[in-house]
Chain A
Amino acid sequence: SQQGEEDPQALSIQEGENATMNCSYKTSINNLQWYRQNSGRGLVHLILIRSNEREKHSGRLRVTLDTSKKSSSLLITASRAADTASYFCATVLANSGYALNFGKGTSLLVTP
């Protein structure tokens, strides 16, 4: 069964607005990662947050992690049309090597 679940499944916003996506997971993790997938393409790594971290920033991306609630959020500030893509959270389970467990993704549409 899949470890992560993103919410919402789909999100539509206008350029300049912020986009927030959430991810919940089930078991203890080593780290949580966010990936982006443009239509018809492979996944691209965006950001990684370790289980002992609470917040991380990278450019217009902000990720939070709450291990007590087993949840994470990805915030994209000042969205652009080029941010239109699907976003996936992926977890690496504690004591489980390097394999990533993906959620079903959030489809983000940013309109001009």
Chain B
Amino acid sequence: DAEITQSPRHKITETGRQVTLACHQTWNHNNMFWYRQDLGHGLRLIHYSYGVHDTNKGEVSDGYSVSRSNTEDLPLTLESAASSQTSVYFCASSESRPGATTEAFFGQGTRLTVV
């Protein structure tokens, strides 16, 4: 069965370190997204990609970057981790069809703690 997986599931890192969160999907979806979820804020869009070599900034992109070198993966990098980036991060993917928007499939999330 197709799936979307995130790794690691839990991560503790120190302030100032570079951290990369992995996201891998086997749906063969063109669209991939990264969200962060914080109490009181719901899910907020960090970055997204609509295809290989395409990346776009979302609502809360400062301090984060992504790259899309293939269809399956969209790693999220925190250039210099800050305590404000302590959060639960979700990756999602969806199919792109002209004129229609389909459901998004979510990974299980990565809980990141910056100390």
> Most chain-A Cβ atoms within 10 A of its Cβ — which of B103, B105, B107?
B103
Task: Confirm or deny: A69 has a beta carbon within 8 angstroms of a beta carbon on chain B.
Answer: no
| B103 touches which of A33, A41, A88, A97 (Cβ 8 Å) | A33
| B90 touches which of A43, A90, A103, A104 (Cβ 8 Å) | A43
User: Which residue of A has the minimal Cβ distance to B96?
Assistant: A98
Residue interface mask B85-115, A partner, CB < 8 A = 1: 0000010101010000111111111000000
Q: Could you say which residues of chain A place their CB within 8 Å of the CB of B108?
A: 41-42
List residues of B whose CB falls within 8 A of some A CB. 31, 33, 35, 40-45, 48, 50, 56, 58-59, 90, 92, 94, 96, 101-109
List residues of A whose CB falls within 8 A of some B CB. 1-2, 30-31, 33, 35, 40-45, 48, 88, 90, 92, 97-105
| Extra A-B contacts (14), CB below 8 Å, given A33-B104, A43-B104 | A1-B59, A2-B44, A35-B106, A41-B109, A42-B106, A42-B108, A43-B106, A45-B104, A45-B105, A48-B103, A98-B31, A98-B50, A98-B96, A99-B58
